[in-house]
Amino acid sequence: MNPKVDAFLSTEKRWKDELTALREIVLECLLEEDFKWKHPCYTYKGANVVLIHGFKEYCALLFMKGALLNDELGLLYQQTDNMQSGRQIRFTSLDEILSKRAELKTYIFDAIEVEKSGAKAPTKKTEDFPVPAELIEKWEADASFKQAFEALTPGRQRGYLLHFAQAQQSNTRKARIEKYTERILKGKGITDCVCGLSKRMPNCDGSHKNLKSALDFHAPT
């Protein structure tokens, strides 16, 4: 049992009992307990298998390769259309979790077998993602920006394409593109660290917030 998970559960209010029960069930399946993305994460030989987390309306088990699982019971949810591999089993009460204890273990053991097999979940290629018209306009107006975007890794490109395309209004899409222009020119992805303080490089871990607080504290009044 990971002490970071103990600390996480000690501060949980909405779903404490439910997440504690899910933790017990997952640990009974002999996975290693870690703490990633600010949530309890369970691994097999270092590979992420399942995550437990809570939302406003429900809590859930998130299977990293859920798209490959046998879902005869129809319990798995695709969180969003853009979620390619991950699938959730959702809960709204402790009784619901306890009543499905055996079924949940079946899904977890199935997920472990998927990981053992080395199977890879199907993923979209970068060229399969829609490119907003506003981004094309930006490319046409700024060749250096287009070159910088195309120099990004495929994963970073997909992150931006998803974020830009999710905006419903054209003005919002334009605003998002402008907001991230400097980051793209620096070769950074949408979740990459730009302050240099992150302990999870290249990903941002929120360290820039501490930097801002320190600067605000020392700023002249």
Helix (H) or strand (E) holding 47: strand 47-54
Q: What is the pLDDT of residues 159-199, one digit of tens each?
A: 899 899 888 999 999 999 999 999 999 999 998 887 777 66
Q: Round to whole Å and give the CA distance between 172 and 163.
A: 11
Which residue's entry shows tokens 């088990």? 61
Domains and CATH numbers, the chain: 3-117 (3.90.1150.200), 126-185 (no CATH)
Chain mean pLDDT for the chain = 89
Contact 8, 22 (CB under 8 A): no
Q: What is the pLDDT of residues 48-81, one digit of tens each?
A: 999 999 999 999 999 999 999 999 999 999 887 6
Q: What is the pLDDT of residues 105-149, one digit of tens each?
A: 999 999 999 999 999 877 777 787 889 999 999 999 999 999 999
Helix (H) or strand (E) holding 5: helix 3-11
Rounded (5°) CA angle 131-134-137: 100
Q: Is 203 helix (H, G, I), strand (E, B) or coil?
A: strand
Q: Is the pLDDT of residue 218 over 60?
A: no
Residue 59 has phi, psi (to 5 degrees) of -115, 170
